[in-house]
Amino acid sequence: MGLAAQMILWEDDFCRELASRGFHVTRFDNRDVGQSTWMKDAGVPDVGAALMASMTGGRVEAPYTLSDMAADTVGLMDALGIASAHIVGASMGGMIAQTLAIEHPARVRTLTSIMSTTGDPALPPPTPEAMSVLFMPPVAGREENIERGVKVFRTIGSPGFPFDEAGVRDIAARAFDRGFHPEGVARQIAAIFASGSRKAGLAAVTVSTLVLHGKADPLVPYEAGADTAEAVAGAKLVGIEGMGHDMPRGVWPRILDEICELAARA
């Protein structure tokens, strides 16, 4: 899953539908969120400095990178006895999935990158509104975090689909209860900035690749998805009208069908 996002954002019904189509589905918390390992001894990076360094081509100080997070995925696969898998990642998870395909190609059967990016600094930035919610200061309480989640997804979510406020509130509440750890989000942001562009590495990816991206995404603009598909030879780009930086239930049938078609083709 993506930045600050726990595995529960791969919603139960979405995973059940994949399982009903014959897949063994594994979802997990990335490091520093939820019930995964919190890298408490790594300190809290200066996110503003990391952003400025990434924009100016300077060195970004970060406790870890997306390569480390891809290696976490390989370690989990090793522990579960999974030699290779169809890898699906959303947002930051798409960046991790891309890194996995670049650095551990034997472990990847197919690659699906959803609402993600190559990391090319020349790509269009988020809208000011999306940037503002991305860098909102953390709040402490459970109810405050639920309201924060509603504000975030009202801003970055899909304008072409109904806003499921009850669903957002439920996930935000469960995420708080599973593990509230804002310091980890800062480290994840720094990891993204420190990892730079993946365009050169993606040019060497040979696994069958699918890129899914909302045409109304205010946080990671559609051009980033198109850039990802262009970087991987033979990749299929699917732009979804009305989809922002989330996956409302209305887009699930399209996403599920595309993932399954990719797996069957490979």
Residues 6+ apart with CB under 8 A from 239: 213, 214, 215, 222, 225, 226
53 by DSSP, 3-state: which?
helix
User: How many other CB atoms are there within 10 angstroms of residue 246's CB atom?
Assistant: 23
pLDDT at position 54, please?
76
pLDDT at position 59, please?
81
| Rounded CA separation 86/96 (Å) | 13
pLDDT at position 47, please?
79
How far is the CA of 8 from the CAs of 17, 100, 133, 165, 187, in angstroms? 15, 21, 21, 16, 20
Strands (E), the chain: 85-90, 108-114, 208-214, 236-240
The helix/strand count (H/E) of the chain reads as 11, 4
> Which residue in the block uniquely carries the two structure tokens 């979510």?
157
Task: Establish how many alpha carbons lie within 13 A of residue 75's alpha carbon, considering only the half-sphere containing its beta carbon.
Answer: 10
Per CATH, which fold does 7-265 belong to?
Rossmann fold (3.40.50)
pLDDT at position 53, please?
76
Sign of CA dihedral 265, 105, 58, 30: positive
Low-confidence stretches of the chain (pLDDT < 70) are: none
pLDDT at position 48, please?
77
Cα 241 to chain centroid, rounded? 19
Please tell me the total number of residues recorded for the chain in this structure: 266
Cα 73 to chain centroid, rounded? 13
Chain segment 203-248, per-residue pLDDT in tens: 999 999 999 999 999 999 999 999 999 999 999 999 999 999 999 9
